[in-house]
């Protein structure tokens, strides 16, 4: 039973030094700080560095045994408030 999930992004040394975006990776922990899931972004280098935070991505979340429990897809969308029919969605 999990009553709380804490999400911790793993920092990549190469990203810190060069400023180039890497695939984001996250540890999802319970209230005791134990890792219960791991999430990893799947995008290519060009998309990450050209589209920035508005980029499309696939995020795979796996349990501690490596079994995929959920996959999230975010398509490329406009982030302009002038076009409300194309706002971000996951």
Q: Which pLDDT tens digit goes with each residue over 24-46?
A: 999 999 999 999 999 999 998 88
Structural domain containing residue 41: 6-74
Kindly report the average pLDDT of the chain as a whole number: 86
β-pairing, 35-42 vs 57-63, is antiparallel
Domain count within the chain: 1
Q: 14-26: per-residue pLDDT in tens?
A: 777 877 778 899 9
Percentage of the chain lying above the pLDDT 70 cut: 89
Mean pLDDT value of segment 45-62: 88
Looking at the DSSP bridge assignments, the partners of residue 61 are 39, 70
Q: What is the pLDDT of residue 4?
A: 92
Is the pTM for the entire model greater than 0.85? Answer: no
What element of type H or E holds 35?
strand 35-42
| Domain presence at residue 59 | yes
| Domain presence at residue 86 | no
| Domain presence at residue 87 | no
| Domain presence at residue 21 | yes
| Domain presence at residue 83 | no
| Domain presence at residue 1 | no
| Domain presence at residue 18 | yes
Token pair of 81, please?
């408030």
């Amino acid at each position: 039973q999990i009553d709380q999930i804490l999400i911790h992004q793993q920092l990549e040394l190469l990203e810190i030094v060069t400023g180039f975006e890497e695939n984001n990776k996250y540890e999802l922990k319970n209230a005791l700080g134990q890792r219960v899931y791991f999430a990893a972004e799947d995008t290519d280098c060009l998309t990450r560095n050209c589209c920035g935070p508005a980029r499309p991505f696939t995020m795979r979340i796996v349990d501690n045994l490596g079994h995929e429990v959920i996959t999230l897809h975010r398509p490329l969308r406009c982030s302009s408030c002038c076009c409300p029919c194309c706002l971000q969605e996951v």
